[in-house]
Structure 1
Amino acid sequence: MDNGKRTVVVTGFGPFGEHAVNASWVAVQELELLGLGPDVQLHVQEVPVEYQAVNSLLPSLWEQYQPQLVVHVGVSGAATTVTLEMCGHNHGYKRLDNCRFCPDTQCCVEGGADCIDSVIDMETVCRRVNASGLDVAVTVSKDAGRYLCDYTYYLSLHLSGGCSAFVHVPPLEEPYSGEQLGHALRAVLLEMLEQLGQDQGTNHCKHRH
């Protein structure tokens, strides 16, 4: 922060299952090419679809970059829009990851709240992006799916005191190209940063619950 820039970390997931090319990482790479403007330092990271990798990687990202905002991007085969997830869930992780592993407890953070909401008002972000004339539809959701996406989101919200976001994208060309998804992510993130800037006086993103 010494240079006056805000720091943002954006992650996408690696391949899994039928997603040999993960649309989320393609979209994040497109976002990296576009950037978030001269006042934002953007760092991107590919995340393996593995619970234990997420457990070690997320705290290190917060420690290394001390970002104002972390946004995780994942692919959903059921999605046809860019979907802003409002909250992460702590329980119900029964699906095996790429290493054929899932937590014994089927839980993300033992003793943690059942659900953590993002401090970002996703409905406002959604409304403003949809009103901007973007050629990509944006919607909101309260269920990130109880797999690595939801798990990552909950852990990130837990680490950040709610100052994280999760965006689901559809598979490539169903119906959007990687380039379209990159532009949509950029519009979404700029709205999130605008909202956080307005709320800066409360400093709620520094709190750790």
Structure 2
Amino acid sequence: MILLTGFEPFGGHSTNPSWLAAQEAAVRLRAEGFEAQAVELPCVFGEAIRVLESALEQHRPGLVICAGQAGGRPRISLERVAINCDDARIPDNAGNAPVDQPVVHGGPAAYFSTLPVKAALAALTAADIPAEVSQTAGTYVCNHVFYGLMHALRLRPGTRGGFVHVPYEPGQLPPGSSAPALPLEQQAEALAVVARTASATTADLRIAAGATH
């Protein structure tokens, strides 16, 4: 079972491409014979992890791909690491704005994704989808969920997971905006590519995809 998640809209937007892409990716994967389910998460600290943990218990997936919007980024971002820090620049959808708080009290400083991010990068590049390996998932609800996912998966041996950030989709942008965007169809296919690659890959590729800053 492949579990894909995306977020409800936040920050004044009426849609969130991460959720739309997760739904469409699940449809595409099911059409190819995979067992796949999409779940929408609230953009709320704490509650998002509770909904995710409930989905893990209900669906018992072997692979989990959580997605979120990173408006302003021009590429699909395969997140490498989640940090144990909530530091909100803007309030979440419930008005919470934690500053320098741990996601999990007493938890480790960070968790690495268990998705084959380098192999996924190669597959996305081959599919002509702009992508990168990202070294930061931020400190907002996306990182919060990424860290919460990996913390939960430590008790689920054999289940792999990680986080993918998607850009804006063009319909979110006002006329004349110069912000980078990626069509929703490409975003959905990107999540499906990551899922297919992870399903077929146990050992990641060893290729350069780091950052100098």
Pick the TM interval, shorter chain: 0.7 to 0.9
Provide the C-alpha distance between the structure 2 equivalents of 1:69 and 1:88, rounded to a whole number of angstroms: 17
Secondary structure at the residue paired with 2:111?
strand
Superposed, 1:22-61 pairs within 5 Å as 22-36=16-30, 38-61=32-55
Unpaired runs of at least 5, structure 2: 171-179, 205-213
User: Are 2:69 and 1:75 aligned?
Assistant: yes
- The two structures have a TM-score, normalised by structure 2, of 0.82
User: Is residue 153 of structure 1 aligned with residue 146 of structure 2?
Assistant: yes
Q: Distance in 1 between matches of 2:165 and 2:61?
A: 21
TM-score, normalised relative to structure 1: 0.83
Match of 2:190 in 1: 184
Structure 2: distance between partners of 1:166 and 1:85: 6
The partner residue of 2:130 within 115, 137, 143 is: 137
* TM superposition outliers: structure 1 runs of 4+ over 6 Å: none
- Root-mean-square deviation (CA, aligned residues, Å) is 2.0
What letter matches 1:24 in structure 2? S
* C-alpha contact (below 8 Å) 1:122/1:140 kept by paired residues: yes
In 2, the alpha carbon distance for the partners of 1:41 and 1:141 equals 28
Other-structure match for 2:160: 163
- The Cα shift of 1:56 comes to 1.5
In the alignment of these two chains, the number of paired residues is: 190
- 1:39-76 CA deviation, whole Å, 9 max, x = no partner? 42101011110113213212211111111011111011
Question: Among the aligned pairs, what percent are the same residue?
Answer: 29
1:111 to 100, 106, 109: 106
Say if 2:10 and 2:93, in contact at 8 Å, map to a contact too: yes
Does the aligned pair in 2 maintain the 1:36–1:186 contact within 8 Å?
no
